[in-house]
Structure 1
Amino acid sequence: MEKLQFILDAAPLIVTIVGIGVTGWVVTTWMRIKNGYPLDGQWGQALYPVRNDETVERVKLLTQENGQLRAELGAIKDRLANVERIVTDGSHRLDREIEMLRGPAN
């Protein structure tokens, strides 16, 4: 009888813990779906949603945009390297020093 009473006394706590766990699982799954993360199967493998024509087209457009942005970033890096080379160039510094020694033009 004591064991049965203990189980009856602990039942609300057990139900609360199980309810919190299930609610957390549902919220986590909903957030993953909402943000485009793949779902996990029983053994941890990723389950990807079914692909349709619209999704494939979006991936193609994003891939093209990514390539364009990478090319633009490469060009900007090259320009920045040239600017750094010009600014740190010794002759540039020497030209400034010569102009300072000449003084203001009369």
Structure 2
Amino acid sequence: MQLGPIIAIVVAVGVVGWIFTTWLRVKHGYPLDGAWGQAIYPKTSDEAMERIKLLTTENGQLRAELGSIKDRLANVERIVTDDSHRLTQEIETLRMPKN
């Protein structure tokens, strides 16, 4: 029984699989690690750092907006779940002109 061709096939499949997964990671923007765990790709540049700052700012703004929407939703839920008599009274007090 000859093991040489079987071992060569297994090694070839392993190498091709490694190349394919590395290609997929690069194609989809995942960082690649070197032998000692250092990042090889993508490199961080001034442009990338500026983009990170802009995204961080936008993230903060969106979180603030989400907080205000949650507050508004809580008020709507309170109005919907209140009994109708109390709600009617509050609406009528708001309709009366203030002197």
1:47 aligned to 29, 39, 47, which one? 39
In structure 2, the residue corresponding to 1:42 is in which secondary structure? coil
Distance 1:52 1:42 in 2: 22
Q: Is the counterpart of residue 21 in structure 1 residue 7 in structure 2?
A: no
CA RMSD between the two structures = 2.2
TM-score (norm 1): 0.66
Query: 1:56-88, CA deviations, whole angstroms, 9 ceiling, x for partnerless residues?
Result: 121122112211211111111111111111101
In the TM superposition, residue 27 of structure 1 has moved relative to its aligned partner by 1.6
% identical equivalent positions:
60
Q: Distance in 1 between matches of 2:59 and 2:23?
A: 28
Counterpart Cα distance in 2 of 1:76 and 1:23: 51
TM-score (norm 2): 0.70
1:76 paired with 2:62, answer: no
Partner of 1:103: none
Stretches (4+) displaced over 4 A: none
| SS of match in other structure, 1:27 | helix
What SS class does the counterpart of residue 37 from structure 1 fall into? coil
Q: Is the 8 A contact 1:38 1:46 kept in 2?
A: no
